[in-house]
Chain A
Amino acid sequence: DQQVKQNSPSLSVQEGRISILNCDYTNSMFDYFLWYKKYPAEGPTFLISISSIKDKNEDGRFTVFLNKSAKHLSLHIVPSQPGDSAVYFCAASGGNTGKLIFGQGTTLQVKP
């Protein structure tokens, strides 16, 4: 039973355009959500997070949107750059456990 799902295994976007990565979750107890980026041969790098008390958080080119009623979050990257090409993981946690549940990842390719 996968509690965090990224249904698109890959996404290809032209440089300068918007990249939208999606994530769905099933556990209504989740109250903190994160996006990580991973390059080959490296560990995941934290990108941006959002608490369930918000519906949007922005950091430079990266914006995360949270729709609690739909149990859906998305990461927008605009404008997309070739260096953004990586695997993007969404993750969620709830309560006081600190336990992160990860999605399967979406591979983003930004073409020059």
Chain B
Amino acid sequence: ETGVTQTPRHLVMGMTNKKSLKCEQHLGHNAMYWYKQSAKKPLELMFVYNFKEQTENNSVPSRFSPECPNSSHLFLHLHTLQPEDSALYLCASSQGGQAQYQETQYFGPGTRLLVL
């Protein structure tokens, strides 16, 4: 595997379900990101991890819970979601470090989530 991978690629869940999205990067990066892309909207940053430490939570509701066990893996745990949470969830990684200055982020293919 190369680059950034995400599983599952598609997910349908009910509002009472609990599910998790997984992201793995094979680029040797130290920073990982979760983004949400809703229809007709720009990509919205949700969370940032740098060396496994969460450095950004962009006012995301608590029904989204990120986990970063190591620099290569990132999870997004989902519970009691709403239909308006249906979107494309994208994971990205970048070099990271003390100063994430002028870094390029590399994206995975995304998970298309539908909440019924």
**A32 to B101 alpha-carbon distance, docked (Å):** 8
**A45 to B90 alpha-carbon distance, docked (Å):** 12
Number of B residues near A (Cβ < 8 Å) is 28
Residues of B within 8 A of A (CB): 4, 6, 31, 40-43, 45, 48, 50, 55-56, 90, 92, 94, 96, 99-110
User: Quick check: is A77 within 8 A (CB to CB) of the other chain?
Assistant: no
**A102 to B38 alpha-carbon distance, docked (Å):** 13
Q: A2-B42, A96-B100, A102-B42 are in contact. List 12 more A-B contacts (CB 8 A).
A: A4-B42, A42-B109, A42-B110, A43-B4, A43-B92, A46-B106, A51-B102, A89-B42, A96-B101, A98-B105, A104-B40, A105-B42
**A22 to B45 alpha-carbon distance, docked (Å):** 22
Contacts of B48 in A (CB 8 A): 98-99
Contacts of B109 in A (CB 8 A): 41-43
Q: Which residue of B lies closest to A34 (CB)?
A: B104
Interchain CB contact (< 8 A) of B102 among A43, A44, A93: A93
B104 touches A45 (CB 8 A): no
A89 touches B43 (CB 8 A): yes
**A104 to B37 alpha-carbon distance, docked (Å):** 10
